[in-house]
Copies of this chain bind each other. A is one copy, B any other.
Amino acid sequence: MKAVTLPDDVVNPDAKGRIILVVLDGVGGLPHPEHGRTELETARTPNLDRLAAESSLGRHLPVEVGITPGSGPGHLSLFGYDPTRFVVGRGALSALGVGFELEKGDVAVRLNLATLDAEGRVLDRRAGRPSDAEAREVVDRLREGIQLRDEGVRFFLLPEKEHRVVLVLRGSGLEAEVQDTDPQATGVPPLPPEALSPGSRRTAQVLEDLVGQARAILAGEAQINGILARGFALYEGFPSLRDRFGLRGAAHARYPMYRGVARLVGMDVPGVPNSDEEAVALLEENAGAFDFHFIHMKAPDSRGEDGDFDGKVAAIEEADGWIARIRALEPDALVVTGDHSTPATLRAHSWHPVPLLIHSRWSRPSAKRFHEGTCRTGDLGVIRGREIMSLALAHAGRLQKFGA
């Protein structure tokens, strides 16, 4: 499997071309059972159509043939990182999802708030699915009450949703090969946090300490009185966009997960938009200060997951409305695509190839619309998502010849 997308020495360190990547989350779709057109084929998209007529079209596979990506791998791929090689642990993804800024060397762990019986056996692995507010209150108590014995380690407790909490441990030399304490069953006690490598002993000891203190603090509670841990992940840091491609990158995304994945690869986050319009405004304000802009529009994916075909069509039409303002910034390469398909008929992310458009002076247009059908016969063919960055760099004049 190809892990590295560019041969050595092809990035031109002196190049200045600017790139904008517009991600219409989950934009790819499937035919409507009645009229047979996909969401993109149904939508009225005059701006995307005008752009398509001057662009190279094609499709990308976010990971590999048949593989459905989560949001993390889908975006890493769009940023030029093979998601099968640059793996973000579930704990780390959860931390990103709640907007936490992971540092290199952090260990992230997914916790469940749980119900234990008097003998300490698991009664309910999800503590009866508490409300977010109930969970937040418990987490606040734990945060205040727990004082780790190992003073070289700091901990961060981040409520995610209902019973799900993320724990981040920060300290030098922590490793993450620790056995899950979640027994994945009821009627048995939690497992001990056993270190599976000598270097992970400190992490295991800290976790044992933390879980013990949590049980003491929650001893009087009937519902939330225990903690189960799984998915220990060491965040080792990724090489940055600047190191790999010579790009100063900026992310404009309303939801924390996408800002988080962008931060993983060294992008700046100039601001936190509360709407797509604010994201576009942030892009406009910062256009000249960065080489690479990533702007994220979530609605097509959300409506796709809802199974709301017409809602996804409307979300695409709304996104189309921003294209003219983005295009007016005159980037040297403008990429429009999704991080995966989210067909409304499937109500979920899917493995289908994703429509892809690259606009630059060096495009080879082939159609006057942007959708699954036109992209199927476009000049770019079917590429891997991680290869889009190579194309964006090439179209922006940022790559030099390979070999003489």
Residues of A within 8 A of B (CB): 1-2, 4-7, 10, 30-31, 38, 59, 63-73, 83-84, 87-88, 90, 93-94, 97, 343, 345-346, 349-353, 361-366, 372-373, 376-379, 381-384, 387, 389-394, 399-404
Q: Who on chain B is nearest to A377 by CB?
A: B377
Write out the residue numbers on chain B whose beta carbons fall within 8 Å of the beta carbon of A65: 5, 383-384, 387, 390-391
Report 8 cross-chain contacts, Cβ distance below 8 Å, ordered by A residue.
A7-B84, A66-B392, A68-B400, A68-B402, A70-B403, A351-B399, A352-B362, A381-B382
Of B72, B376, B393, B401, the residue contacting A69 (CB under 8 A) is: B401
Distance between A259 CB and nearest chain B CB, rounded to angstroms: 16
How far is it, in angstroms, between the C-alpha of A362 and the C-alpha of B73 when the chains are bound?
A: 22
Let me know if B399 and A67 touch, CB within 8 A. Answer: yes
Let me know if B402 and A83 touch, CB within 8 A. Answer: yes
Let me know if B376 and A64 touch, CB within 8 A. Answer: no
How far is it, in angstroms, between the C-alpha of A308 and the C-alpha of B36 when the chains are bound?
A: 40
How far is it, in angstroms, between the C-alpha of A2 and the C-alpha of B3 when the chains are bound?
A: 11
Q: From A38, A69, A346, A363, name the one whose CB has the most chain B CB atoms within 10 angstroms.
A: A69
Let me know if A68 and B399 touch, CB within 8 A. Answer: yes
How far is it, in angstroms, between the C-alpha of A403 and the C-alpha of B10 when the chains are bound?
A: 31
Of B84, B349, B382, B403, the residue contacting A72 (CB under 8 A) is: B403
Let me know if B377 and A83 touch, CB within 8 A. Answer: no
Q: Who on chain B is nearest to A346 by CB?
A: B362
Let me know if B349 and A391 touch, CB within 8 A. Answer: no
Let me know if B351 and A403 touch, CB within 8 A. Answer: no
Let me know if A67 and B379 touch, CB within 8 A. Answer: no
Whether A403 touches B87, Cβ cut-off 8 Å, given contacts A30-B364, A362-B30, A394-B67, is yes
Let me know if B379 and A362 touch, CB within 8 A. Answer: no
Let me know if B362 and A64 touch, CB within 8 A. Answer: no
Q: Who on chain B is nearest to A382 by CB?
A: B381
Let me know if A353 and B376 touch, CB within 8 A. Answer: no
Write out the residue numbers on chain B whose beta carbons fall within 8 Å of the beta carbon of A384: 65
How far is it, in angstroms, between the C-alpha of A68 and the C-alpha of B362 when the chains are bound?
A: 13
Let me know if B379 and A364 touch, CB within 8 A. Answer: no
Q: Who on chain B is nearest to A231 by CB?
A: B404
Write out the residue numbers on chain B whose beta carbons fall within 8 Å of the beta carbon of A363: 30
Q: Who on chain B is nearest to A66 by CB?
A: B390
Let me know if B66 and A394 touch, CB within 8 A. Answer: yes
How far is it, in angstroms, between the C-alpha of A65 and the C-alpha of B399 when the chains are bound?
A: 12
Let me know if A403 and B64 touch, CB within 8 A. Answer: no
Given A66-B387, A376-B378, 11 additional A-B pairs, CB 8 A? A63-B402, A67-B394, A68-B401, A70-B401, A70-B404, A87-B403, A90-B404, A350-B394, A351-B391, A351-B394, A352-B362
How far is it, in angstroms, between the C-alpha of A391 and the C-alpha of B10 when the chains are bound?
A: 29
Whether A31 touches B63, Cβ cut-off 8 Å, given contacts A381-B353, A404-B72, is no
